[in-house]
Amino acid sequence: MGFNYFTMAFQRISDFQGVSNRSEYWYFVLWNVIFAVTIMLIFGEGSIPDLLYNIAVIVPSLSLSIRRLHDVDKSGWHYLWVLTIIGAFWVLYLVCQPSVSSSRFNNQSSQDEIDSDEDFEDDEIEEVSVDVNTVDAEDFKGL
């Protein structure tokens, strides 16, 4: 039941530039609360295992939250709003929003890669059309 999203957050711990959908975010939150409450009930609040778990999930939850904000086409810097009371409700509202398909964070390509792709785009189309026109039709009979 969504446990793979919890482990995925740890696998993508250093990915602060991609996107994460709502199910990935909320399943992580669900499993995080289950584990945190279980550890707290077994060992007590403020115990060593409780503190170690909380420290262990800081970076994955931060990166996941930033990716979730990217998915709704907001900068990760919006996460700083959680430091204020009203801003925490704003961030909660944002992470509840559906994904934006035209998010500027979906395909992270550098401007250099985009420029170099535009330079070769016309040449590739011409090469493909020339190659297709010069291929003999008998080569495809065996397919």
Name the domain count of the chain. Answer: 1
Is 141 a member of any domain?
no
Chain-wide mean pLDDT for the chain?
79
Phi, psi of 105 (to 5 degrees): -100, -5
Cβ burial, residue 69 (10 Å; 0-12/13-18/19+): buried
Structural contact between residues 9 and 64, judged by C-beta atoms closer than 8 angstroms: yes
Q: How far apart are CA 134 and CA 118, in angstroms?
A: 26
CB atoms within 10 A of CB 52: 12
DSSP state, residue 99: P
- When pLDDT is cut at 50, 70 and 90, the band that residue 58 belongs to is very high
Helical spans, DSSP H, in the chain: 3-11, 22-43, 48-56, 58-71, 85-96, 111-134
100 vs 38: which has the higher pLDDT: 38
Residue ranges making up the domain that contains 78: 1-135
Is 10 a member of any domain?
yes
Is 13 a member of any domain?
yes
pLDDT one-digit tens code per residue, 100-125: 877 777 765 433 333 444 444 444 44
Three-state secondary structure call for residue 140: helix
* Beta carbons within 8 Å of 75's beta carbon, 6+ residues apart: 69
Phi, psi of 135 (to 5 degrees): -75, 135
Is 74 a member of any domain?
yes
